[in-house]
């Protein structure tokens, strides 16, 4: 069964309250009544109403003043107000619309006219609310798509293997955890988590020969590789979108070092944006713990020793202290991601075995 819509009727004449309420109730609406403006405001702040029918001329607080109060209160501003009036002076009706009314009904009224006006404006209100809900849902879906594409693009920038794609996801998880431990607000921490996926976007401008070289890079190659910090920020440009602005900062500064020996601008200490200081630790932490084509995975004791030895030189000491203090939480992310990688590898092996059986069968 559909939920009955509730209408507040406000009039200083008891007979009018009784008559209007009866007409609305016969039509299937739920009603509440108020004899004056002050009572109406109190009810509107403690009950949900789909509409308010408000007499203009009342002693004490007039209908116009009551409506003005309703429209400046965020809790009641969206409730449609229909004025009830015995007069039809243009100046009075003009004031009624200016304070926020959607319509007026002249007294004495016809039952059919009152129900038609009420029904129309309730339908319009439903349409407006549904439209707002659909717009909000569409915006949410667009944001989710944007984030999904960012992670995909971040994975492409990192390389073409499952491991490098998972590196992007793990860095995002480490980034979010460290941001929250630092005390960052939830919305900002989540945005930084997503922005971190593009930390190496500039690698799209670096040749595959350098990106996938298994040996140590020579001086020329290293110089070329370091260009990716500037390239990533340049690719994102001067965007007005907060998420991409954040990603641009991370791209440009995540290879800076706390002691000023990093690149590309040799920033030091808090000259390096907090976003980049957090992502820098997340990026290195993951790179050490997981294997790459050119290196083995370090064990946790080696990683902890590296973080301690580079506390205050490469990394923000306060952030490193947070990582070490909550190391088990970071390792839990590693354990979960290692399991995911293992499952994906087993799945690939299963597919390979299936193809092998099919070939043998032929």
- Active site members: 203
What is 93-123 written as a DSSP string?
HHHHHHTT-SEEEESS--HHHHHHHHHHHHH
Cα dihedral across residues 6, 7, 8, 13: positive or negative: negative
Which among 108, 113, 83, 76 is positioned nearest to 97, based on CA atoms? 83
Distances 120 to 80, 116, 143, 221 between C-alpha atoms, Å: 11, 6, 34, 71
Q: How many CB atoms sit inside 10 A of residue 5's CB?
A: 19
The percent helix, strand, coil of the chain (3-state, each to 5) is 65, 10, 30
Distances 212 to 165, 198, 216, 321, 344 between C-alpha atoms, Å: 14, 19, 11, 33, 22
Rg (CA), the chain: 32
Q: How many CB atoms sit inside 10 A of residue 235's CB?
A: 19
Between vectors from CA 271 to CA 267 and to CA 275, what angle results, nearest 5°?
100
Matching residue, tokens 């739920």: 30
CA–CA separation, 21 and 196 (whole Å): 59
Matching residue, tokens 């506390």: 311
Whether residue 292 contacts residue 283, with contact meaning beta carbons closer than 8 Å, is answered with no
Whether residue 205 contacts residue 227, with contact meaning beta carbons closer than 8 Å, is answered with yes
Q: Record the tokens describing residue 103, joined without a space.
A: 């319509």
What is 270-308 written as a DSSP string?
GGS-HHHHHHHHHHHHHHHHS-BTTBPPPPHHHHHHHHH
């Amino acid at each position: 069964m559909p939920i009955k819509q509730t209408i507040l009727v406000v009039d200083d004449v008891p007979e009018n309250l009784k008559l209007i309420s009866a007409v609305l109730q016969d039509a299937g609406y739920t009603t509440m009544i108020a004899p004056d403006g002050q009572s109406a405001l109190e009810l509107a702040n403690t009950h949900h109403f789909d509409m308010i029918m408000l007499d203009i001329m009342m002693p004490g607080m007039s209908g116009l003043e009551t409506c003005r109060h309703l429209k400046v209160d965020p809790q009641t501003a969206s409730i449609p107000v229909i004025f009830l009036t015995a007069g039809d002076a243009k100046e009075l009706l003009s004031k009624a619309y200016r304070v926020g009314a959607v319509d007026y009904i002249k007294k004495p009224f016809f039952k059919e006219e009152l129900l038609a006006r009420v029904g129309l404006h309730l339908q319009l209100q439903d349409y407006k609310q549904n439209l707002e809900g659909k717009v909000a849902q569409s915006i949410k879906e667009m944001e989710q798509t944007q984030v999904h594409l960012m992670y995909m693009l971040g994975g492409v920038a990192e390389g073409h293997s499952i491991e490098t794609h998972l590196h992007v996801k793990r860095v995002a998880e480490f980034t979010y955890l460290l941001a929250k431990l630092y005390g960052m607000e939830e919305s900002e921490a989540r945005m930084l988590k997503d922005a971190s996926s593009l930390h190496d976007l500039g690698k799209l401008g670096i040749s595959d020969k350098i990106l996938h070289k298994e040996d140590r890079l020579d001086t020329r190659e290293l110089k070329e590789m370091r260009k990716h910090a500037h390239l990533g920020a340049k690719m994102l440009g001067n965007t007005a979108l907060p998420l991409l602005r954040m990603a641009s900062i991370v791209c440009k500064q995540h290879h800076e070092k706390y002691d000023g020996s990093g690149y590309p601008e040799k920033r030091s200490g808090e000259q390096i944006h907090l976003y980049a200081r957090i992502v820098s630790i997340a990026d290195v932490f993951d790179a050490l713990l997981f294997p790459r084509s050119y290196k083995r995975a370090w064990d946790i004791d080696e990683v902890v020793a590296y973080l301690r030895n580079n506390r205050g030189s490469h990394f923000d000491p306060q952030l490193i202290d947070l990582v070490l203090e909550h190391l088990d939480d970071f390792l839990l992310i590693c354990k979960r991601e290692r399991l995911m990688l293992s499952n994906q590898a087993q799945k690939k092996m299963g597919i390979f075995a299936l193809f092998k059986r099919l070939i043998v069968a032929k």
